[in-house]
Amino acid sequence: MKLPVEGWPEVSGQGRVGAVRRVVLLALRDLRLEVRDRAGLLSILAFFAVMLFIMALALGPEEEPLRRAAPGVLWVALAFGSTLLSTRAFALEVEEGTLDDLLLAPGGKEWIYFGKLLFQMLLLLPLAALALLMAAGLFYLPLERLFPLFLTLVLGVLGYASVATFYAGLLARLRGREVLLPLLLFSLVVPVVLASVRATTGLAEGLPVAEISDWWQLLLVFDVVYLTASALLFPVVMEG
Amino acid sequence: MLLRLQGISKRFGRDWVVRDLSFTLERGEVVALLGPNGSGKTTLLRLMAGLLKPTRGQVERAGRTLFLPNPPAFHRHLTAREHLLYDLAFHHQGKEPEEALDRFGLPGDLPLYAFSSGMKKRLALARLTLLFPDIWLLDEPETALDKGGRELLLATLAEARKKAGVVLATHDRTLAERVADRTLELGVA
């Protein structure tokens, strides 16, 4: 059996390549666990499908109200999906009692944060693309603007998941973490959700890309700020 | 000095589990923690590992530390070989797990949900010998092991003594007397 990064430069120290290798390995290991377990993956897929269908039935069948509601519905689905997945990323460790092993690995603890975030992005982006296609079919989102829509999705999901991963790690060892996570998370990610919904609305209404780019820049700024702050604070909150 | 605890106390809510304890572990030393259930053995091991913060006092470690919980913690959807490979990579070590799997009599390709408690304990010992930390913190390492597993445990502890320091919590006084250089007896407050 070979690990997925076999053949990568073998770094025995704690250099940058070694850290990246650990991050990628942790993400791929979690992906392997999730695919073998299937419970988390199927519940998120089912959640996306059920939510989009119910909202389409409730708001349809006229095109105009569906198209107007599409960005909000899509981002509610993505926000809840990401929250479910971030809880899941640490639940994998807490349920099996393996979080301590990760914490005792040599070097800083930032790699755990980035590994868990990468795991979520690897799983969430294909799921989000699927949700986008479902929303395009059910809510008349313009498919010819798929690339800018997907870009909005990547920027929004990254900002959301970066904070969600941080809080999921912070709450990992607490009972009632599933209740606490949305309470703490939603107040902080309002700017990301707002910018994502506005960018998606603009694209659905056929606004030129130049007018959307302000929202993308705002999303990019929030992504960088949230990623940096979370990566810096994560080792502190994981201490004992 | 590998590990030093200075005036350590730990409180959960209103209950003091460990109170004003000082302790030093040297390389080449095996120390047994003895005491009834609830006397704070596991809490003390977790404090030593840095997995818990003391309410008072200081913990100093001068080396890589691993903690073997009871029962050992593994991802049940991975195989033994996969688990060891990932562990080795996370710890920046480029060794091969085959020899350790053979030595501890473990099937490499069986998912861990099919492992018995004793096999998981053997896997935990195999993991320790591969990662070979400076400080070994073992919580009841003898439980669930059969006769062969117990012999492997004794051999593993003998190896660890040569290059590392070991603290093991146990209820087995025979084991403690056989392997430990000294014992630390904890009582219930």
* pLDDT tens-digit readout, A41-72: 888 888 888 999 999 999 878 888 898 898 99
A10: pLDDT confidence band, cut at 50, 70 and 90? very low
Q: Smallest Cα–Cα separation from A6: which of B89, B109, B130?
A: B89
CA distance A199 to A202: 5
Residue B156 pLDDT: 96
Q: Is residue A3 part of a domain?
A: no
What range does the domain containing A209 cover?
A: 19-238
From B89's Cα to the closest Cα of chain A, the distance in A is 7
CA distance B8 to B53: 10
Residue A17 pLDDT: 59
Q: Is residue A2 part of a domain?
A: no
CA distance B156 to B159: 5
- Whether omega for the bond prior to residue B69 falls within 30 degrees of 0, making it cis, is no
% of chain B at pLDDT higher than 90: 91
Residue-wise pLDDT for A84-117, tens only, equals 888 888 888 888 889 999 999 988 889 999 999 9
This model of the complex carries an ipTM of 0.90
SS3 state at A111: helix
Residues 6+ apart with CB under 8 A from B144: B71, B116, B117, B118, B120, B121
| Among candidates A14, A98, A239 on the partner chain, residue whose Cβ is nearest the Cβ of B75 | A98
Residue A195 pLDDT: 94
Domains in chain B (CATH in brackets) are 3-185 (3.40.50.300)
Residue-wise pLDDT for A116-129, tens only, equals 999 999 998 998 88
Lowest-confidence pick of A10-14, A186-190, A219-223: A10-14
| Among candidates A1, A3, A33 on the partner chain, residue whose Cβ is nearest the Cβ of B75 | A33
Per the structure, how many domains does chain A have? 1
CA distance B34 to A225: 49
- Whether omega for the bond prior to residue A61 falls within 30 degrees of 0, making it cis, is yes
**A14, A100, A101, A119: which to substitute to probe chain B, counting the most B Cβ within 10 Å?**
A101
Residue-wise pLDDT for B102-148, tens only, equals 999 999 999 999 999 999 999 999 999 999 999 999 999 999 999 99
Residues 6+ apart with CB under 8 A from A176: none
Query: Which two structure tokens, joined as six digits, stand for B109?
Result: 């390709």
Query: Which two structure tokens, joined as six digits, stand for A50?
Result: 């059920």
Q: Is A18 close to B92, i.e. CB distance below 8 A?
A: yes
From B59's Cα to the closest Cα of chain A, the distance in A is 12
For residue A92, the chain B residues in CB contact (below 8 A) are 75
Q: Is residue A177 part of a domain?
A: yes
Q: Is B65 close to A1, i.e. CB distance below 8 A?
A: no
Contact B94, A12 (CB under 8 A): yes
Q: Is A96 close to B73, i.e. CB distance below 8 A?
A: yes
| Among candidates A12, A98, A240 on the partner chain, residue whose Cβ is nearest the Cβ of B53 | A240
Residue-wise pLDDT for B72-100, tens only, equals 999 999 999 999 999 999 988 878 899 99
What mean pLDDT value characterizes chain A? 86
Q: Is residue A46 part of a domain?
A: yes
Residue A8 pLDDT: 44
- Whether omega for the bond prior to residue B54 falls within 30 degrees of 0, making it cis, is no
| Among candidates A36, A100, A240 on the partner chain, residue whose Cβ is nearest the Cβ of B67 | A100
Query: CB distance from B11 to chain A under 8 Å?
Result: no
Q: Would you mind telling me the total number of residues written for chain A in this entry? A: 240
Q: Is residue A5 part of a domain?
A: no
Q: Is B92 close to A12, i.e. CB distance below 8 A?
A: yes
The DSSP symbol for A10 reads P
Does pLDDT of B170 surpass 60? yes
For residue B90, the chain A residues in CB contact (below 8 A) are 22, 25-26, 101-102, 105
Q: Is B73 close to A25, i.e. CB distance below 8 A?
A: no
Can you give the three-state secondary structure of A154-211, one letter per residue? HHHHHHHHHHHHHHHHHHCCCCCHHHHHHHHHHHHHHHHHHHHHHHHHHHHCCCCHHH
Q: Is residue A223 part of a domain?
A: yes
Does pLDDT of B14 surpass 80? yes
From A156's Cα to the closest Cα of chain B, the distance in A is 30
Higher pLDDT, A139 or A239: A139
For residue B12, the chain A residues in CB contact (below 8 A) are none
CA distance A34 to A44: 12
Q: Is A26 close to B75, i.e. CB distance below 8 A?
A: no
Higher pLDDT, B31 or A38: B31
A173: pLDDT confidence band, cut at 50, 70 and 90? confident
SS3 state at B108: coil
Q: Is residue A6 part of a domain?
A: no
Taking each continuous run of H as one helix and of E as one strand, the counts in chain A are 8, 0
Supply the DSSP string of B40-71, one letter for each residue: SHHHHHHHHHTSS--SEEEEEE-S-EEEE-SS
Q: Is residue A167 part of a domain?
A: yes
